[in-house]
Amino acid sequence: MTDVPVTTRKDWATDQEVRWCPGCGDYSILTAMQLLMPEMGVRREDTVFVSGIGCAARFPYYMNTYGLHAIHGRSPAVATGLAMARGDLHVWVVGGDGDMMSIGGNHLIHALRRNVNLNILLFNNQIYGLTKGQYSPTSERGKVTKSTPHGSVEQPFNAVSLALGAEASFVARTHDMDRGHMQEMFRRAHDHPGAAFVEVYQNCNVFNDGAFAAITKRDARDSMLIDLKHGEPVRFGADGELGVVIEDGRARVVAVAEVGVDALVVHDETDPDPSVAYSLSRLANTNDVPTPVGVFRAVDRSEYGSAVTSQIAASQAKAGPGDLHKLLHSRPTWQVA
């Protein structure tokens, strides 16, 4: 990586005017990314941001890399083709909860299942922003919006649970109030071979302001964010006084003093069985209870694009590179004189 030119944030920013609402959580995510990129040892031209439609999907316009702003929901599909064709690229997929979990839900789960080499960032603000405030597939029950004036009667998705259920090999969660944590998660996603899914809790200050405030504001974080660390007991609180145990396959928050440190679950992000990770993801289905953040799961699994490339190489080794003349004569032939 020594030959990668030294860059600064400025090199990774475009000259385009950023058009998110003032105060939008997307700004801090963009800043985190632009500041992180010079540290990643990658070239701008080898980096591609692919997006669908929505506020989050404008992200590529602000990164001085290659960028493809596609159509609603389809970014994981478009990025799958790109990543399959071009294993040399670093492909990021950016979208919101409506884009990736509603209209594009099918593509998201299949990109995760196939383990395509993509870094998928889900900016979850639990609302439709660009269409001005309808409930989303992650909005809580009872949510009153323009399209649910009597309150939503739908069960929301838990994005981390969904990703784990979709056989994702890397699943993480972070939030827009903590640049360092975001950068750590983005870096881990980048380093992971295969599909890496990162849910970013993101504040929409216009249509869903403060949705995550109870867990992400500075003075709440200690007691409300459970920072998952590989190989360490899962505990949180200002003095680590709270922890998580797994009982009968279910995760439960406990006082460490009552159960002892040894009773706490030791986080193993490499566990091939996603059950414990899933249990941890179920700790928080609303934004007012302690919520795990960090890497839930990071397992090694065959990456899709390279598996396809390996089959091509094996086929060429066996049959030789394609010979068109031979192909056209590969079925029974006869001569007419």
- Contacting positions for other proteins (CB under 8 A): 14, 16, 43-48, 50-51, 60-61, 63-71, 74, 77-86, 88-89, 106-107, 110, 308, 311-312, 314-316, 318-322, 324-325, 327-329, 331-337
**Cβ of residue 91: shortest distance to other proteins, in angstroms?**
9
The answer to whether the CB of 203 falls within 8 A of the CB of 330 is no
Query: How many whole angstroms separate alpha carbon 53 and alpha carbon 55?
Result: 7
Which distant-in-sequence residues (6+ apart) come within 8 Å of 42 by Cβ? Answer: 4, 90, 190
- Of 150 and 325, nearer to other proteins (C-beta) is 325
- Of 46 and 184, nearer to other proteins (C-beta) is 46
**Cβ of residue 46: shortest distance to other proteins, in angstroms?**
6
Determine the straight-line distance between the first and last CA of the chain, rounded to whole angstroms.
62
* Partner residues linked to 145 by β-bridges: 148
**Cβ of residue 67: shortest distance to other proteins, in angstroms?**
3
The answer to whether the CB of 277 falls within 8 A of the CB of 297 is yes
Name the packing angle between helices 179-191 and 25-36 (round to 10°). 50
Residue among 49, 56, 40 at smallest CA distance from 5: 40
**Cβ of residue 33: shortest distance to other proteins, in angstroms?**
15
- Of 66 and 263, nearer to other proteins (C-beta) is 66
- Of 64 and 125, nearer to other proteins (C-beta) is 64
**Cβ of residue 73: shortest distance to other proteins, in angstroms?**
8
Give phi and psi for 154, each to the nearest 5.
-100, 145
Residue 91 is encoded by which pair of tokens? 């492909």
- Of 77 and 162, nearer to other proteins (C-beta) is 77
